[in-house]
Amino acid sequence: MSATSHLDRAPSLADVLAQRLEQDIAQGHYAPGEKLPSEQQLATTYGVSRPIVREAIGRLKHDGLVTSRQGSGAFVAESGGASVFRLDVSNFKDREEIESLIELLMAIESSATELAAQRRTEQDLIALGHQLEAMQAAIERGDSGVDEDVAFHRAIVEATKNPFFMDLSTFLDRRVRHFIRTARANTAKLQTGHMMAVQDEHRDIFNAIRDKDAQRARQAAENHLKRAAQRLAIYMKRV
Amino acid sequence: MSATSHLDRAPSLADVLAQRLEQDIAQGHYAPGEKLPSEQQLATTYGVSRPIVREAIGRLKHDGLVTSRQGSGAFVAESGGASVFRLDVSNFKDREEIESLIELLMAIESSATELAAQRRTEQDLIALGHQLEAMQAAIERGDSGVDEDVAFHRAIVEATKNPFFMDLSTFLDRRVRHFIRTARANTAKLQTGHMMAVQDEHRDIFNAIRDKDAQRARQAAENHLKRAAQRLAIYMKRV
DNA sequence: GTTGCCATCTTGTCAGGCAACTTGGTTATG
DNA sequence: CATAACCAAGTTGCCTGACAAGATGGCAAC
Q: For A99-135, how does the pLDDT look when each residue is reduced to its tens digit (9 = 90+)?
A: 888 899 999 999 999 999 999 999 999 999 999 999 9
Q: Is this complex's ipTM strictly greater than 0.85?
A: no
Spatial separation of the C-alpha atoms in residues B73 and B67, rounded to whole Å: 9
| CB atoms near residue A38 (< 10 Å) | 13
Spatial separation of the C-alpha atoms in residues A135 and A129, rounded to whole Å: 10
Nearest to B100 among A79, A86, A164 (CB): A164
Distance A122 CA to D18 C1' (A): 63
A112 touching B (Cβ < 8 Å): yes
In terms of CA atoms, which chain A residue is nearest residue B1?
A33
Spatial separation of the C-alpha atoms in residues A29 and B209, rounded to whole Å: 37
Q: Return the closest nucleotide (C1') to the Cα of A36.
A: C10
- Residue B197: pLDDT band (50, 70, 90) is confident
Chain D positions with a protein C-beta closer than 7 Å: 10-18, 21-24
Mean local confidence (pLDDT), A146-155:
89
Q: Do B10 and A70 touch (CB under 8 A)?
A: yes
Establish how many alpha carbons lie within 13 A of residue A11's alpha carbon, considering only the half-sphere containing its beta carbon.
9
Q: Which of the residues B8, B104, B114, B157 would you substitute to probe the A interface, choosing the one with the greatest number of A C-beta atoms within 10 Å?
A: B104
- The predicted pLDDT at position A8 comes to 40
Establish how many alpha carbons lie within 13 A of residue A224's alpha carbon, considering only the half-sphere containing its beta carbon.
28
Mean pLDDT of chain A, nearest integer: 83
- The predicted pLDDT at position B236 comes to 65
Mean pLDDT of chain B, nearest integer: 82
Spatial separation of the C-alpha atoms in residues A66 and A32, rounded to whole Å: 9
- The predicted pLDDT at position B171 comes to 86
Cβ contacts (< 8 Å) between A6 and chain B: which residues? Answer: 67
How is A105-133 classified by DSSP, letter by letter? HHHHHHHHHHHHHHH--HHHHHHHHHHHH
Q: Do B9 and A88 touch (CB under 8 A)?
A: no
At B88-140, the pLDDT tens digits run 776 556 778 888 888 999 999 999 999 999 999 999 999 999 999 999 898 88
- The predicted pLDDT at position A10 comes to 57
**Helix or strand holding residue B35 (H, E):** strand B35-36
Name the pTM for this structure: 0.82
- Residue A160: pLDDT band (50, 70, 90) is very high
Q: Do B103 and A165 touch (CB under 8 A)?
A: yes
Q: Do B85 and A86 touch (CB under 8 A)?
A: yes
- The predicted pLDDT at position A201 comes to 94
Phi, psi for A48 (deg, rounded to 5):
-130, 175
- The predicted pLDDT at position A69 comes to 83
In terms of CA atoms, which chain A residue is nearest residue B178?
A79
B67 touching A (Cβ < 8 Å): yes
Q: Which of the residues A39, A85, A98, A99 would you substitute to probe the B interface, choosing the one with the greatest number of B C-beta atoms within 10 Å?
A: A85
| CB atoms near residue B148 (< 10 Å) | 22
- Which of A219-230 are b and which e, b meaning 16 or more Cβ less than 10 Å from the residue's Cβ? bbbbebbeebee
Residue A238 reports pLDDT greater than 60: no
Q: Which of residues 116-175 of A touch B (CB under 8 A)?
A: 160, 162-165, 167-168, 171, 174-175
Helix A95-119 and helix B95-119: axis angle, to 10°? 130
Distance B238 CA to D29 C1' (A): 52
Q: Which of residues 197-236 of B touch A (CB under 8 A)?
A: none
B58 touching A (Cβ < 8 Å): yes
**How many Å lie between the alpha carbon of A90 and the closest alpha carbon of chain B?**
7
In terms of CA atoms, which chain A residue is nearest residue B67?
A9
Burial zone of A188 (CB within 10 Å; 0-12 exposed, 13-18 middle, 19+ buried): exposed
**Which positions 56-75 on chain A have a beta carbon less than 7 angstroms from any atom of strand C?**
57, 68-74
Q: State whether the beta carbon of A14 lies below 7 angstroms from any atom of strand D.
A: yes
